[in-house]
Structure 1
Amino acid sequence: MRAPQDLVVVGSVNVDLTALVDRLPGAGETVGGGQLRRDIGGKGANQAVAASRLGARVRMVGAVGSDADGAAALETIRTAGVDVTAVRAVDAPTGTALIAVDAAGENQIVVCGGANALVDVDGIAVGPGEAVLMQLELSMDVVRAVAAQANGFVVVNAAPAQPLPADLVERVDLFIVNETEYAAMPELRGAQRVAVTYGASGAAMFVDAAEVARVPAAAVADVVNTVGAGDAFSAALTLAILSGAPDEQALRTACAVGAAAVAHPSAQPPLDRLETYGRL
């Protein structure tokens, strides 16, 4: 298998304020007894850090606030080995996610975009040897523009779910979604390739709307937090496919990485190199 290409992650950077509780509140309900965590997150940052820890050379494009949270985010992402030269400091608060996680690892999340809303296409350049991984926590205009200019492999983790323009569906080489997002975006039936995750039921790959591979979920002894699992899966699947792994093996590897992620309380869990999670 060939070595993974350089990866550019264009995406969001947030501060995650996480309350660990026995159970999630219902509408209008207050739940006490929580424990508070403060971590760096955002789907873009999570995926960039995961890809770097899995062994890729990663460059991130995004924005943080000119505040203490922004400085902390940059240092955390840089320490994970990600090139943050193209992450701008802007005149807006660093994005923030308010998260509640229950004893079973299930979660509720509210995202306040902040500086992420100021990411624009000016100055975003994708080199001919770079693959691109994006999410939908940035402006759709930015995602469309980056996809249109990229010459290499383009992956979009289409979350949160929203209507997808036809030009994006046509250009993207791989979409990654969970089963709820797949149901909410019928446009994906027209995509070239779509990976769909089914939680404890595993994952499947669709090519031109036809299922070509399906794998079970990897076993997890103790689920601590599911917040970063999808991001770890997205990074791992992208790198596995870039390495030349066939769809079934790529899915198995990504599921193994996702399983490792849920065993850690952070959305940016420690990970080993990609090859330790599957035979690539």
Structure 2
Amino acid sequence: MATTTQVTIVGSSNVDITAMMRRLPSPGETVLADSYRLTPGGKGANQALAAALAGATTEFIGAVGNDSHAEIALGQLAEAGVVLDRVKHIDGATGVAIISVDAQAENSIAVISGANSAMDEVAVRAAGALAGVLVLQGEIPASGIRAAIDAATGPIVLNLAPVIELDRDYLCRANPLVVNEHEAALILAQLEGTAELSTDPEAVIAQRLCDQGLESVVITMGGDGALVAQRGEDSASITTVAASKVTAVDTTGAGDAFTGALAARLAIGETLIDAAGFASRFAALSVQGHGAQASYPRSLENL
């Protein structure tokens, strides 16, 4: 889909080292893996690729090191036409994610931030104005997230994953906040000032997040689809978006596929509910292939 709209992603870029195995190890246990692969990843870069493939003119702003991983980290973004002019190259290591995937397509992930740690307030402010729909995640320092929000000229899509401490005023400038069920409970606890995580249903948690000042919330629920909450005068409007029925091979990067596609569709003027429906279908296609970026659909023909 040709478009002149813009999505700007400020965030992380990693190389994923993915081990495929029958089951994930328990603490202290060694499990033999069947194979491994080295692929580009990082939540920011994943979302940038998804936004570009979903039809938006996209820029990625992040940092890589001066090692051999840097080219891998940015390779698929460059191929997709993502603008990389404001990517920072630093002395040091590119970020790395160590991913274990089992036979049921469940995964566990450990992230070494590397160059992503350089995306602090100073680096983000130096990048200048951030046009269009701005997308942020939790894999860069909080000071960088705050600086990006301050520099935004359009709507802000905040995927606070992993959940890090962020001032209420900045959290509430997200429209929407995009999180999974566990992240939603963590952020609610942060806003309500409690250490106890809510066990309420997702719709109740979404309502409580809107009560805390968020304009809109999207909670992704894997195979159960997504929930969209939009704040109203008395209560939030809650809509459930169904998930496509597919056989999952690898869920790595599916949440990023959803967030990037959502931002792209918001950028071309779709409603949040329609954008979430498209993003759910886009993400469903991604879980049918291995890896994160490599699994993202290169054609919108079936969407």
The residue type paired with residue 224 of structure 1 is: V
Q: Displacement of 1:253 after TM fit?
A: 1.0
- SS across alignment from 1:180: helix
Q: Provide the residue aligned with 1:227 in structure 2.
A: 252
Q: CA RMSD in A?
A: 1.8
Aligned to 2:287: 262
SS in 1 for 2:126: coil
User: How many Å separate the matches in 2 of 1:240 and 1:130?
Assistant: 12
Q: 2:184 aligns with which of 160, 163, 182?
A: 182
Tell me how far apart the structure 1 counterparts of residues 59 and 29 of structure 2 sit (CA, whole Å). 42
Residue pair 2:19, 2:33 contacting (<8 A) in 1 also: no
Determine the structure 2 residue equivalent to 1:194.
Answer: 217
Paired position in structure 1 for 2:241 = 215
Q: How does 1:77-92 map to 2 (within 5 A)?
A: 77-92=77-92
**Structure 1 residue 275: deviation in Å?**
7.3
- Following TM superposition, the consecutive aligned residue runs of length 4 or more in structure 1 with deviations greater than 3 angstroms are 272-276
Task: Write the distance in 2 (CA, Å) between the matches of 1:247 and 1:173.
Answer: 10
1:1-280 to structure 2, matched below 5 A, reads: 5-119=5-119, 120-127=123-130, 129-186=131-188, 187=191, 188-189=209-210, 190=212, 191-208=214-231, 210-220=236-246, 222-268=247-293, 269-273=295-299, 276-277=302-303
AA in 1 matched with 2:262: L
The answer (yes or no) to whether the contact 1:8–1:126 under 8 Å persists in 2 is no
- Name the SS for the 2:179 alignment partner: strand
Quote how far apart the aligned CAs of 1:33 are: 3.6
Q: Residue type matched to 2:134 in 1?
A: V
CA contact (8 A) 1:55 1:273 kept: no
Query: Closer, same or farther in 2 for the Cα pair 1:18/1:53, shift >3 Å?
Result: same
Alpha-carbon contact 2:19-2:100 (below 8 Å) kept: yes
Shift of 1:80: 2.0
SS in 2 for 1:123: helix
Assess if the C-alpha contact under 8 Å between 1:4 and 1:242 holds in 2. Answer: no
Percent same amino acid at aligned positions? 37
Q: Tell me how far apart the structure 2 counterparts of residues 3 and 88 of structure 1 sit (CA, whole Å).
A: 27
Give the whole-Å Cα distance in 1 for the aligned partners of 2:47 and 2:139.
Answer: 12
Cα distance in 1, alignment partners of residues 39 and 104 from structure 2: 20
Task: With the length of structure 2 as denominator, give the TM-score of the two structures.
Answer: 0.85
Hey, what's the Cα distance between the residues in 1 that align with 2:3 and 2:238? Answer: 24
Contact residue 15 and residue 95 of structure 1 kept, 8 A: yes
Aligned partners of 1:184, 1:4: CA distance in 2, in Å? 36
Contact 1:155 1:175 in 2 (8 A): yes
Following superposition, the deviation at residue 247 of structure 1 comes to: 3.2
In the alignment, the residues of structure 2 paired with residue 194 and residue 257 of structure 1 have an alpha-carbon distance, to the nearest angstrom, of: 19
Matched positions, count: 274
Deviation readout 1:242-272 (Å, 9 max, x if unpaired) = 3232333222211101100101102002414
Amino acid at match of 2:167: P
- Per the alignment, in what secondary structure is the counterpart of residue 263 of structure 1? coil
Q: Contact between 2:8 and 2:132, CA under 8 Å: does it hold in 1? A: yes
Amino acid at match of 1:155: V
The change in CA–CA distance for 1:274 and 1:211 in structure 2 (over 3 A counts) is farther
Larger strand percent: 1
For the residues of structure 2 that align with 1:76 and 1:214, how far apart are their CA atoms? 32
Aligned residue for 1:9, secondary structure, equals strand
| Structure 1 residue aligned with 2:198 | none
Q: Deviations over 1:15-65 (max 9, x none)?
A: 100000011001111101431111010001101111111221111100000
TM superposition score normalised by structure 1: 0.92
Q: Which runs of 5+ in 1 are unaligned?
A: none
Counterpart amino acid of residue 144 in structure 1 = R
Deviation sequence 1:114-165 (CA, Å, 0-9, x none):
00001122422235x5221111100111111111121211111110022331
